[in-house]
Protein backbone atom coordinates (compact mmCIF):
# COMPACT_ATOMS: atom_id res chain seq x y z
CA UNK A 1 0.00 0.00 0.00
CA UNK A 2 1.48 3.40 -0.95
CA UNK A 3 2.72 5.55 1.93
CA UNK A 4 3.77 9.20 1.98
CA UNK A 5 7.54 9.56 2.18
CA UNK A 6 10.28 12.11 2.46
CA UNK A 7 13.16 10.54 0.52
CA UNK A 8 16.83 11.33 1.10
CA UNK A 9 19.25 10.29 -1.65
CA UNK A 10 22.79 11.21 -2.73
CA UNK A 11 23.06 13.97 -5.36
CA UNK A 12 25.17 11.58 -7.44
CA UNK A 13 22.45 9.10 -8.47
CA UNK A 14 24.81 6.15 -8.86
CA UNK A 15 26.61 6.62 -5.52
CA UNK A 16 26.12 3.82 -3.05
CA UNK A 17 28.13 2.32 -0.19
CA UNK A 18 29.26 -1.29 -0.27
CA UNK A 19 26.24 -2.28 1.81
CA UNK A 20 23.30 -0.78 3.65
CA UNK A 21 24.95 -1.51 7.02
CA UNK A 22 27.38 1.37 6.46
CA UNK A 23 24.49 3.79 5.99
CA UNK A 24 22.58 2.41 8.97
CA UNK A 25 25.61 2.92 11.24
CA UNK A 26 26.09 6.47 9.91
CA UNK A 27 22.41 7.28 10.55
CA UNK A 28 22.62 5.78 14.03
CA UNK A 29 25.79 7.79 14.76
CA UNK A 30 23.99 11.05 13.97
CA UNK A 31 20.93 9.74 15.90
CA UNK A 32 18.55 10.07 12.96
CA UNK A 33 17.57 6.39 13.20
CA UNK A 34 17.56 4.04 16.16
CA UNK A 35 16.82 0.35 16.33
CA UNK A 36 15.74 -1.89 13.51
CA UNK A 37 12.07 -2.82 13.41
CA UNK A 38 10.80 -6.41 13.01
CA UNK A 39 10.66 -6.04 9.20
CA UNK A 40 13.99 -6.09 7.33
CA UNK A 41 15.17 -2.69 6.09
CA UNK A 42 12.98 -0.65 8.47
CA UNK A 43 14.20 1.40 11.45
CA UNK A 44 12.68 3.46 14.21
CA UNK A 45 13.30 7.20 14.45
CA UNK A 46 16.32 8.25 16.50
CA UNK A 47 16.50 10.74 19.36
CA UNK A 48 17.66 13.59 17.05
CA UNK A 49 14.86 13.06 14.50
CA UNK A 50 13.10 16.34 15.35
CA UNK A 51 16.44 18.22 15.28
CA UNK A 52 16.86 17.43 11.57
CA UNK A 53 13.35 18.17 10.28
CA UNK A 54 11.46 21.43 10.35
CA UNK A 55 7.70 20.85 10.31
CA UNK A 56 5.79 23.46 8.34
CA UNK A 57 2.32 24.85 9.02
CA UNK A 58 0.21 23.53 11.86
CA UNK A 59 1.85 21.48 14.56
CA UNK A 60 1.70 17.82 13.48
CA UNK A 61 0.82 14.89 15.61
CA UNK A 62 4.18 13.18 16.04
CA UNK A 63 3.84 9.40 16.27
CA UNK A 64 6.97 7.29 16.70
CA UNK A 65 5.44 4.00 17.81
CA UNK A 66 3.59 1.71 15.39
CA UNK A 67 -0.13 1.88 16.19
CA UNK A 68 -0.52 -1.77 15.13
CA UNK A 69 1.84 -4.66 14.44
CA UNK A 70 1.10 -4.52 10.71
CA UNK A 71 1.73 -0.77 10.34
CA UNK A 72 5.46 -1.07 9.51
CA UNK A 73 5.80 0.20 5.94
CA UNK A 74 2.70 2.38 6.24
CA UNK A 75 2.41 6.11 6.72
CA UNK A 76 0.79 5.65 10.13
CA UNK A 77 3.91 6.62 12.11
CA UNK A 78 7.39 8.06 11.52
CA UNK A 79 9.95 5.41 10.70
CA UNK A 80 12.61 4.72 8.10
CA UNK A 81 13.13 2.36 5.21
CA UNK A 82 16.62 2.06 3.74
CA UNK A 83 17.05 0.51 0.31
CA UNK A 84 19.87 0.15 -2.22
CA UNK A 85 19.05 -0.90 -5.77
CA UNK A 86 21.35 -3.68 -6.99
CA UNK A 87 22.68 -2.52 -10.35
CA UNK A 88 21.45 0.83 -11.62
CA UNK A 89 19.79 4.02 -10.52
CA UNK A 90 16.01 4.22 -10.71
CA UNK A 91 13.47 7.01 -11.02
CA UNK A 92 11.00 7.23 -8.15
CA UNK A 93 7.84 9.15 -8.93
CA UNK A 94 4.13 8.95 -8.22
CA UNK A 95 0.83 10.25 -9.53
CA UNK A 96 1.59 13.67 -8.03
CA UNK A 97 4.96 14.10 -9.78
CA UNK A 98 5.17 17.17 -11.98
CA UNK A 99 5.79 16.88 -15.70
CA UNK A 100 9.42 17.95 -16.16
CA UNK A 101 10.59 20.34 -18.85
CA UNK A 102 13.36 19.85 -21.36
CA UNK A 103 16.44 21.69 -20.03
CA UNK A 104 17.25 22.88 -23.58
CA UNK A 105 13.94 24.18 -25.02
CA UNK A 106 11.78 24.29 -21.85
CA UNK A 107 8.92 22.33 -23.44
CA UNK A 108 7.01 19.88 -21.24
CA UNK A 109 8.16 16.27 -21.59
CA UNK A 110 4.68 14.80 -21.63
CA UNK A 111 5.92 11.28 -22.52
CA UNK A 112 8.11 10.95 -19.44
CA UNK A 113 5.89 8.37 -17.71
CA UNK A 114 6.05 6.09 -20.77
CA UNK A 115 9.82 6.54 -21.10
CA UNK A 116 10.57 5.57 -17.52
CA UNK A 117 7.60 3.32 -16.73
CA UNK A 118 9.94 0.58 -15.51
CA UNK A 119 11.82 3.12 -13.31
CA UNK A 120 15.10 2.34 -15.10
CA UNK A 121 17.06 5.51 -15.79
CA UNK A 122 17.77 5.88 -19.50
CA UNK A 123 18.29 8.69 -21.98
CA UNK A 124 15.62 9.81 -24.44
CA UNK A 125 15.38 12.67 -26.92
CA UNK A 126 13.14 15.67 -26.41
CA UNK A 127 10.38 15.37 -29.04
CA UNK A 128 10.48 19.15 -29.61
CA UNK A 129 14.19 19.95 -29.95
CA UNK A 130 15.92 16.56 -29.99
CA UNK A 131 18.11 17.33 -26.96
CA UNK A 132 19.07 14.30 -24.88
CA UNK A 133 17.12 14.06 -21.61
CA UNK A 134 17.56 11.68 -18.69
CA UNK A 135 15.61 11.77 -15.43
CA UNK A 136 18.57 12.43 -13.14
CA UNK A 137 19.22 15.74 -14.93
CA UNK A 138 15.64 17.06 -14.86
CA UNK A 139 14.04 19.46 -12.38
CA UNK A 140 11.34 17.44 -10.63
CA UNK A 141 10.58 20.24 -8.14
CA UNK A 142 11.08 17.77 -5.27
CA UNK A 143 8.22 15.50 -6.44
CA UNK A 144 10.44 12.76 -7.93
CA UNK A 145 14.09 11.76 -7.91
CA UNK A 146 16.74 9.31 -9.06
CA UNK A 147 19.25 7.20 -7.24
CA UNK A 148 20.44 3.81 -6.08
CA UNK A 149 20.39 4.55 -2.34
CA UNK A 150 17.21 5.78 -0.70
CA UNK A 151 16.52 6.68 2.92
CA UNK A 152 12.73 6.97 3.16
CA UNK A 153 11.08 8.69 6.11
CA UNK A 154 7.61 7.19 6.13
CA UNK A 155 4.62 9.21 7.30
CA UNK A 156 5.88 12.52 5.89
CA UNK A 157 3.48 14.12 3.42
CA UNK A 158 4.81 16.31 0.60
CA UNK A 159 5.72 19.85 1.55
CA UNK A 160 4.88 19.38 5.26
CA UNK A 161 8.53 19.13 6.30
CA UNK A 162 11.78 20.71 5.27
CA UNK A 163 15.00 18.96 6.24
CA UNK A 164 17.36 21.43 7.95
CA UNK A 165 20.84 22.07 6.56
CA UNK A 166 22.43 20.32 9.56
CA UNK A 167 21.00 17.00 8.34
CA UNK A 168 22.70 17.35 4.96
CA UNK A 169 25.96 18.47 6.59
CA UNK A 170 25.97 15.41 8.86
CA UNK A 171 25.06 13.04 6.03
CA UNK A 172 27.85 14.46 3.86
CA UNK A 173 30.37 14.20 6.72
CA UNK A 174 29.34 10.59 7.37
CA UNK A 175 29.33 9.45 3.73
CA UNK A 176 31.65 11.82 1.85
CA UNK A 177 28.95 12.74 -0.69
CA UNK A 178 26.30 15.49 -0.97
CA UNK A 179 22.60 14.68 -0.46
CA UNK A 180 19.20 15.94 -1.63
CA UNK A 181 15.54 15.18 -0.93
CA UNK A 182 12.16 14.76 -2.58
CA UNK A 183 8.67 13.51 -1.73
CA UNK A 184 6.71 10.56 -3.11
CA UNK A 185 3.79 8.42 -2.12
CA UNK A 186 4.69 4.88 -3.14
CA UNK A 187 5.32 1.34 -1.92
CA UNK A 188 9.03 1.92 -1.41
CA UNK A 189 11.77 -0.31 -2.73
CA UNK A 190 12.99 -3.66 -1.51
CA UNK A 191 16.04 -3.34 0.71
CA UNK A 192 19.21 -5.20 -0.13
| pLDDT per residue as tens, the chain (192 positions) | 789 999 999 999 999 987 788 899 999 999 999 999 999 999 999 999 999 999 887 756 788 888 887 899 999 999 999 999 878 899 999 999 999 999 999 999 999 999 998 888 899 999 999 999 999 999 999 999 999 999 999 999 998 999 999 999 999 999 999 999 999 999 988 654
Alpha-carbon span 176 to 165, nearest angstrom: 16
Q: Where is 175: in which H helix or E strand?
A: helix 165-175
Predicted TM-score of the model (pTM):
0.94
Between 165-175 and 20-29, two packed helices, what is the crossing angle to 10 degrees? 130
Amino acid sequence: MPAPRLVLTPRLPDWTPDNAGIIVRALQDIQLVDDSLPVSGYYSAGSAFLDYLSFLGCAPTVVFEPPASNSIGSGDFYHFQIAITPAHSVLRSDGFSYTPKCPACKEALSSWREWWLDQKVSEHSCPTCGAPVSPEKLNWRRRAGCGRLFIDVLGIHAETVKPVSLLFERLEQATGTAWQYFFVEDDGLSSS
